[in-house]
Amino acid sequence: MKTKIAISMLCALSVAYGAADKAELQKTLQANSVQGSIISSSDLGSGLSMVVIDVNNQQVPFLATNDGKFIFQPDALLMQDKAVQAKIQGFYKDVYEKEKAKINIKLQEVFKKQSANVFHFKSQKNGAKTIYIVSDANCPYCQKEFANLNKQLEDANVELLVVGFLGEDSMLKAANALKNKSGNQAKDIAMLAKLYEPKSKATSVDTKLAKELTQAVADIGVRSVPYIIED
């Protein structure tokens, strides 16, 4: 069971010295039915610690009080000490960048392993870079990204993996994309364009392969779409 922790705190925190105790932090996780382990804890000052927690094999940054009894995400964090605030921002950026780098490596392995189920769109430009995209046909941001495909192909090759993150119709569209994949670039772009129309509805087809691909992407840590890697 995964529990999302998000607490906005507008109160004075009692000052404690030293980084939050890992044992107390673990007790706080257990008290909230969070299955995770404490990777690191470092003193931030102002009674707070920066904590990295392994949740489902992903390293997630949190803040915690130094007594270990409060663990939270700073969705809205107002501080007078801008130096501490900058340190927090740097901490989150560093953890997220390291985690994203690990996900990117694993995702490129999925693209390679599932090459037969990936749409390979080639640029006419010699030596073009490659953009890897995980996309859901019902996601508004993915629809905007797909509308930009021909523009992207002017300078880059595009590897596109269609998944069903957003419910049954999304999964059906992913399955339709796989079923109707021809290997002909122009035909495949035209076929996908119809699926990516905001009001389009997918026909009923077997979704087994689409579900397997979607799960494979989710298992490595991709949680939102479009997920884009520029090689």
pLDDT digits (tens, 9 = 90+) for 188-217: 999 999 999 998 989 999 999 999 999 999
- Which amino acid, one-letter code, is at 15? V
More confident residue, 117 or 127: 117
- What's the pLDDT score for residue 77? 66
Per-residue pLDDT tens digits for 77-87: 666 777 877 88
Q: What is the band of 76 on the pLDDT scale with cuts at 50, 70, 90?
A: low
Q: For the full predicted model, state whether its pTM sits above 0.85.
A: no
Q: Which CATH architecture has domain 22-105?
A: Roll (3.10)
Q: What is the mean pLDDT of residues 173-193?
A: 97
Q: Domain limits of the chain?
A: 22-105, 114-230
Placement of tokens 């993150």 in the chain: 165
Instruction: Give me the count of residues in the chain.
Output: 231
Omega before 226 cis (within 30°)? Answer: yes
Specify the CATH class of 114-230 in words.
alpha beta
Cα gap 132→45, rounded to integer Å: 41
